[in-house]
Amino acid sequence: MKAREKRPLALTIAGSDSGGGAGIQADLKTFAALGVHGTCAITCVTAQHPRGVRAIETVSPRLVRQQIAAVFAELPPTAVKTGMLFSAKNIGVIADFFQRQTVVRPLDRSAVSRKKVFLIVDPVMLATSGTRLLTPSAIRQLQYALLPLATLVTPNLSEAAILGGQGIASIEDMRKSAKKIYARFGCAVLLKGGHLPEPSGAADIFFDGRNELMLVAPRIRGVRTHGTGCTYSAAITAALALGHDLAGAVQVAKDFITAAIAGSYLVAAGHYALNPRRLPAKRVR
């Protein structure tokens, strides 16, 4: 009898998107496309489509914690990402849980043991439509309770402006902001600059306290997508579960999200969905 393939495990802690383009749905699609078994803990349920969010109901902090604990009890993940957390109470129980875990820090050069976990924080604050997805008290809790525990944070331009305390209008501003965020919270930073009018293409800045990378991909025009931030951070999480180091995982994810946007398909009038279809990323462990 042929031996069964064993796949690495990843966990997403995020909200549900009824439109299927972002949140838990996007994360699990991405994990599967990269050859990683995805587990999840749902923080809130939304009624939404690509044009907007109609309603949000949060899951109780107690149940959020129980979901995470259940996964760790029998399906311990190598890498975890957070997405839409919405409330300060939910962030509090998540931070409390990971204070009890050994999280890989940016400059940790030791071999990652089975007891260590990568924690990727996608600081989801606003929906593409403009709906607030993180309350003001939750933003403070994210900054002072969760980010100091994280391996990597993946803000877009508006989120980085809040975390770094400065406006961003250029690549140089992105570089300064990434270093400022690292200095404030101690986690590596992938600052996503896709909405910056940069002629060279869609540029992102990665900084881990020692190494700085600029990742540039051709800008894909004529497609309005939803869930790119979720998919990008989920791809980083999957690549880490597959054994890539942090810088390598970011590059795998940049290539993955670029291909997903380029291959996006029409689902309704004016609405495109990302197409996270790709052969599994090479497992390096």
Q: Which helix (H) or strand (E) holds 241?
A: helix 228-241
Residue 199: predicted pLDDT: 62
In the residue annotation, 20 being an active-site residue is answered as: no
In the residue annotation, 40 being an active-site residue is answered as: no
Question: What would you measure as the largest C-alpha separation in the chain, in angstroms?
Answer: 60
In the residue annotation, 194 being an active-site residue is answered as: no
Q: Which parts of the chain sit beneath pLDDT 70?
A: 1-2, 109-115, 127-131, 198-199, 222, 278-282, 285
In the residue annotation, 187 being an active-site residue is answered as: no
| Residue pLDDT, tens place only, 239-266 | 999 999 999 999 999 999 999 888 888 8
The total number of residues shown for the chain amounts to 285
- Are 230 and 23 spatial neighbours (Cβ–Cβ below 8 Å)? yes
Residue 6 exposed, middle or buried by CB count within 10 Å (0-12, 13-18, 19+): exposed
CA 176 to chain centre: 21
In the residue annotation, 164 being an active-site residue is answered as: no
Q: Which helix (H) or strand (E) holds 183?
A: helix 171-185
Residue 130: partners with Cβ closer than 8 Å, 6 or more residues away = 52
- Are 14 and 82 spatial neighbours (Cβ–Cβ below 8 Å)? yes
Catalytic residue among 29, 81, 89, 192: 192
Catalytic residue among 43, 230, 231, 237: 230
Q: What is the pTM of this model?
A: 0.93
What is the distance between the alpha carbons of residues 119 and 72, in angstroms, rounded to a whole number?
A: 13
Catalytic residue among 39, 194, 227, 258: 227
Which CATH homologous superfamily contains domain 9-273? Answer: Ribokinase (3.40.1190.20)
| Residue pLDDT, tens place only, 33-53 | 999 999 999 999 999 887 778
In the residue annotation, 243 being an active-site residue is answered as: no
| Tokens found for residue 29 | 């699609």
Delimit the domains of the chain by residue range. Answer: 9-273
